[in-house]
Amino acid sequence: MSTSGVGERVPVLVHEARLGADRYRVVRPARSLGQALLVDDDRWLTFSLDAGSARTVAGLWLLAARSQRSLIHLPLRAAGAPGDGSRLDLVLLHHSLQFAPARWKELRTRLGPGRPHVAELPRARPEVDLAARHYRENRDLFHQHVHAETLFMTGSARLFTETAGHFLDVAQHGPTGDDQHYCARIHSNDGILGNARELHIEYRGLPSGDV
């Protein structure tokens, strides 16, 4: 049964740039993602967010499913310590775009200020056929590459749509009461990771005294 999802208008900035004969469309969140961090922990990746940034990322995850000709860029490294190479930016893209990560650094330098746009996102979460993910012939998988301090997460519209709910869970349920830790995972046992590491998605509240 479908449950209530994002159902929000997400403000974004739309950029267009050309590399040779190719023109690319890059979409970024119009608002800062605050303290959100994506960290390369070697064996897995850790995405730390507060409730507000988790909702925004859920919306951008859904936008990656719908905007199959766009690269969805989440600039996250600014929230980390200067010079800390474990922090990564994130690019979400549909596999049909066939964008080579090696071109990202040049494309990134060509992006202007962008034009404001509001993305209308659906409310319903889809039905998930968990059994189908484990069929031997299932090739609908996420793949990852790291280049230019950026994680590229490539997948299908179905995969992005089905996994956006992990960020919503963090936004809606973490933390509760005295428990300041809440997490969700895109796990190796889920049957959706190809050449990709697990993604741990955890609540990260502001330390006491921060504003």
CB-neighbour burial class of residue 159 (10 A; exposed 0-12, middle 13-18, buried 19+): buried
CA gap 74, 187 in Å, rounded: 22
* Residue recorded with tokens 């330390």: 207
Q: For a pLDDT cut of 70, what percent of the chain falls above it?
A: 79
Residue with tokens 């997948």: 155
**pLDDT 10s digits, 173-199:** 876 655 567 889 999 888 889 999 999
Which pLDDT score is estimated for 17? 95
| pLDDT one-digit tens code per residue, 2-17 | 444 456 788 999 999 9
Strand arrangement of the beta sheet that strand 89-94 belongs to = 115-120, 9-19, 22-29, 70-74, 89-94, 150-155, 143-147
Q: Is the pLDDT of residue 93 over 90?
A: yes
Q: What is the pLDDT of residue 133?
A: 53
> pLDDT digit string (tens) for 43-71?
999 999 999 999 999 999 999 999 999 99
Please check whether residue 161 is in contact with residue 6, taking contact to mean a CB–CB distance below 8 angstroms: no
pLDDT score for 9: 84
In 56-157, DSSP assigns E strands to: 70-74, 89-94, 115-120, 143-147, 150-155
CA distances from 124 to 37, 102, 115, 140, 185 (A): 27, 36, 28, 22, 20
Of residues 7 and 208, the one with the higher pLDDT is: 7
Quote the longest CA-to-CA distance of the chain: 56
**Whether the predicted pLDDT of 21 surpasses 80:** yes
- pTM assigned to the model: 0.86
Q: What is the pLDDT, as a whole number, of residue 156?
A: 94
Contacts of 143 (CB under 8 A, 6+ apart): 95, 153, 154, 155, 194, 195, 196
Give the per-residue pLDDT at 90: 98
Q: Where are the domains of the chain?
A: 9-203
- Tell me the per-residue pLDDT of 77-86, one tens digit each, with 9 for 90 and over: 875 555 555 9
Q: What per-residue confidence (pLDDT) applies to 2? A: 40
Tell me, what's the pLDDT at 185? 93
